[in-house]
Structure 1
């Protein structure tokens, strides 16, 4: 059946995305915060540029896989879980587009010798919003696993 490979792709992509975002939350950003302000700005700007190329493809592929999983499982017990996974990824993308991307622009525009307080405000807001995204990504991963198990 076609639902097996699609569900596997959804689980794989959701898991990789959740793992990436959790690592960003609990490892990368706490370490970056310990650097001197100029180094923080330069590292965040480099990461933002790199991830600005990678993540749109990665997140879109995850959304497509979870939507595909929902369609592939229509009428089965797995459908609700697949739909929830797609919904969580979709909501995460809306938050990314409306909240994180404007902050990413501010990060890229911030002068390396800029005001530390202004920098901290940008980054704290980004991290609070990112926490919500991480919760949605981990929830999507759990729902994708449950969809696979329910098929």
Structure 2
């Protein structure tokens, strides 16, 4: 049963990392290359779509990591799992305090109601997102290392 929990947790966190990596290094570059109104509308749509899914994914991943740490408390590699959990907690806190407020504004913008500084706000979101991606990549690497 522990092996199944380890694999399921690693896969779910890994796929989350892949999605967030893709947002940072693929989707945002595609959207930013579009004409102004299209770029802003694309970011708003992405904010609505991923803003609905990612909280469940982040919290679910964290719950699975905690379950793994508890179930494997006396096993080799548990310290790595706990460290991964700490990084995921930091990513959730970072999301709630820094990224979600910007995303909540962005997802309601249209070309008619967006603020004058919308590009600067999205740029700030992107910088924080790069930091969050680094955290969750590190957490994923720790989980994979715990399997070895």
Distance apart, 1:47 and its partner CA: 1.0
Match of 1:3 in 2: 2
Q: Deviations along 1:70-91, whole A, 9 cap, x unmatched? A: 1122122211111011111111
- 1:1-150 map, 5 Å: 2-113=1-112, 118-149=117-148
Question: What do you get for the CA RMSD once the two structures are aligned?
Answer: 1.6
Q: TM-score, normalised by structure 1?
A: 0.91
In structure 2, the gaps of 5 or more residues are none
Q: TM-score, normalised by structure 2?
A: 0.93
Q: Deviations along 1:100-138, whole A, 9 cap, x unmatched? A: 110012212334146786121111100010011100111
> Which runs of at least 4 in structure 1 moved beyond 3 Å after TM superposition?
113-117
Query: CA–CA distance in 1 between the matches of 2:33 and 2:113?
Result: 17
In structure 1, the gaps of 5 or more residues are none
